[in-house]
Structure 1
């Protein structure tokens, strides 16, 4: 069922918004043509209908690649819930359920290939992951900017976009390492990003990327069919609530093994700390710290009004690709609820983390004086910033030169008001000294290192 607001929530909306119907921004004609083509293909038996059976999907992948070891079978639990929720609640169009089947097949294939590599090279799983630097913040709170600045420092290891799309090398990768073949994964990533741009150009203007850009590890968590990647592209409320009640430790263990595999495939020194970031960590800090007990944490903070509006806009612009039935108001209410839960979970987990292992960074401070903010971070990491500055300046110059379309959105189009957001999240802003309109977050307590 759709995530509809309660009667109490309806009363908190601005009166003029309760009677207005906002239409989603129009997706591109490309998806309409793809959708019509798939429907026609199914009508004449040229395109298979979506199959929502876990056994069918796993059997098809095993037969296609001649492998049958998918690793830790914990993933079958979230997969079952996701299949049921997507089929019953997401209202997917033909292009949407076709894309879903492709995604499931891709993830299952990667699980088979991952186990193949672990069996071929047991030393992969012995690679240490020491002292990772993990950026933790709500969606749209400046985590991408900070991640890419730190990734410009060659003293750190990072994922590239094609590796979060396809973290597992293909069986012929040893020939790639020997220089005899080209790695197909960047080619595939370019194709996927091109299709994404055709499907809805706004999504890549909101979060610009390219095959070799530093990218977050959300795809590695999704490899266990767990987490927010699916929530941000489909309306799957039953699956969402299931994930929120489960321990994420198995998904994080699988993510860590994929990082080991990626480090091995990059021929990366295991002595270089990884730079990691994804908003999923806000919900799952206990799992993150169980799997990476020596992680150093950088928390990012931004005006809640901007976080909620921007997150809702990003998720909505992805959802309208796959469904013809997406109203903005319930979508906005869900991402307000989700942001509030992320902040609650993060604050609770911080109570047991030693202060010397974390630092807080303000979005506005990075906007106003990025170098001073980065110098604070480097003091926290006990590193000299000077060797990193040339790479950071190159990244910032390249970003400034790109003709990026500004990300425009409003709370009102999602049935929300500033007053409601601050009523729900104003105490968080005050506690962490986040500058917001009206002065809610003017004081800045000394709550962490730096």
Structure 2
């Protein structure tokens, strides 16, 4: 099991010794670091037991997996729910499966679920109550439930190679490679991908043999080239949402967490700007990726089209990959479309809150915005043409964050997730 111990130790050093002493921050950092390491150790034990009780997982082939990869707050959760409804075709990750990525643990949970049914569902009702307490406050921004589809964030988090660690360690520039795994040194990147492959093998072995693996992974916007190298026959789906909306939406999720352990961090401080710079590099990285992947294995969706007509968007996606839409799935898509038309998020934010501006967005991402026509009327995103030989990965290209611009007053936007 891969663990980026150098990044972890560096994060601890930066939090504890490179900022003025704050008892509150020390408590948060030490408490959650110990809890995190305990989870890592627990999961590592379960994965070792897999080799003893379920050695067959190592022979499991991951054939033509489908990855939904886009910058956070781009509608990936909605698209994941749409695709997961095609249960005959896809097997996906559920939240509890990403937290406990071990066949042994999942076998134990399946046994407990069977016992719970016989006992009247006491455990199930208790878990529902816990979920409302643990995750209910996030429902307007990102609904989370243990038994519902979820992205594979936890897998990378256990390896300390996920942008989620910036919630506790808000040092984006010094820890750039943690949020951008394609920039890791080649040996570490290969070890990370070997661990990741083993996670997917376990999941398919335990839950989805005979079906296509579907993975939603927003944080993999900075790991997409490594994923392609590991799964050359993979299919990639990305969603393009205007960065004026997506970037401040994601920063808005981090600021309250930062201020919980470090109240001195301001909304429009350096942390917000550095995190926005990382998100901008994800946009550029995904845009460059279009030229390195076989167009037959890549599809872009305009976020506005997905919101306006989910059923038509999915039908077009299926035609691109040569998939058939069953009648039962078509009916589910009609239901999703009706529900989406009635949905209105209450999550509000603005660029100016975080020291950002439309001018800075244009300076950083002007060519990307123009390429996708994001400043114009919603239309089907132009798909890449031609074969385009995939270039050799050069991690040094992604080591330095782009420069930050100056804040300016702009109008707020309302979240439409």
Q: TM-score, with normalisation over the residues of structure 2?
A: 0.78
Q: Distance in 1 between matches of 2:351 and 2:219?
A: 23
Query: 2:311 touches 2:333 (CA, 8 Å); kept in 1?
Result: no
List alignment gaps of at least 5 residues for structure 2.
387-417
Select the residue among 271, 287, 294 that pairs with 2:226. 287
List alignment gaps of at least 5 residues for structure 1.
1-70
Q: Distance in 2 between matches of 1:258 and 1:126?
A: 13
The 5 A counterparts of 1:362-373 are 362-373=302-313
The 5 A counterparts of 1:226-237 are 226-237=161-172
Secondary structure in structure 1 of the residue aligned to 2:239: strand
Query: 1:93 touches 1:323 (CA, 8 Å); kept in 2?
Result: no
The 5 A counterparts of 1:40-51 are none
Computed over aligned residues only, the root mean square deviation of the Cα atoms, in angstroms, reads 3.3
Residue in 2 that maps onto 1:251: 192
Q: Cα deviations across residues 257-312 of structure 1 (Å, max 9, x unaligned)? A: 1222233333x32x211111212222112210122111101121011100111011
Select the residue among 105, 108, 111 that pairs with 2:41. 108
Structure 1 residues 178 and 440: CA distance shift in structure 2, 3 A: closer
Q: TM-score, with normalisation over the residues of structure 1?
A: 0.72
Q: Distance in 1 between matches of 2:13 and 2:173?
A: 9
Q: Which one is further off, 346-355 or 222-231?
A: 346-355
Q: Distance in 1 between matches of 2:238 and 2:385?
A: 10
In the alignment, is residue 309 of structure 1 matched against residue 243 of structure 2? no
Secondary structure in structure 1 of the residue aligned to 2:237: strand
In the alignment, is residue 375 of structure 1 matched against residue 304 of structure 2? no
In the alignment, is residue 214 of structure 1 matched against residue 153 of structure 2? no
Structure 1 residues 261 and 181: CA distance shift in structure 2, 3 A: farther
Q: Distance in 1 between matches of 2:203 and 2:211?
A: 13
The 5 A counterparts of 1:301-380 are 301-329=240-268, 330-380=270-320
Query: 1:432 touches 1:441 (CA, 8 Å); kept in 2?
Result: no
Structure 1 residue 169 displacement after superposition: 5.2
In the alignment, is residue 81 of structure 1 matched against residue 10 of structure 2? yes
Q: Distance in 2 between matches of 1:192 and 1:432?
A: 42
Q: Distance in 1 between matches of 2:193 and 2:14?
A: 23
Residue in 2 that maps onto 1:148: 81
Secondary structure in structure 2 of the residue aligned to 1:237: coil
Structure 1 residues 127 and 445: CA distance shift in structure 2, 3 A: closer
Q: Distance in 2 between matches of 1:352 and 1:409?
A: 35
Q: Cα deviations across residues 363-422 of structure 1 (Å, max 9, x unaligned)? A: 0011122222111111122111234223334555667778x8511111111111222212
Structure 1 residue 119 displacement after superposition: 2.6
Structure 1 residue 89 displacement after superposition: 5.7
Structure 1 residues 204 and 365: CA distance shift in structure 2, 3 A: same
Q: Which one is further off, 99-108 or 319-328?
A: 319-328
Structure 1 residues 176 and 215: CA distance shift in structure 2, 3 A: closer
Structure 1 residues 388 and 219: CA distance shift in structure 2, 3 A: same
Secondary structure in structure 2 of the residue aligned to 1:297: strand
Q: Distance in 1 between matches of 2:46 and 2:16?
A: 27
In the alignment, is residue 120 of structure 1 matched against residue 53 of structure 2? yes
The 5 A counterparts of 1:382-401 are 382-386=322-326, 387-395=328-336
Secondary structure in structure 1 of the residue aligned to 2:147: coil
Structure 1 residues 108 and 379: CA distance shift in structure 2, 3 A: same
Q: Distance in 2 between matches of 1:255 and 1:348?
A: 23
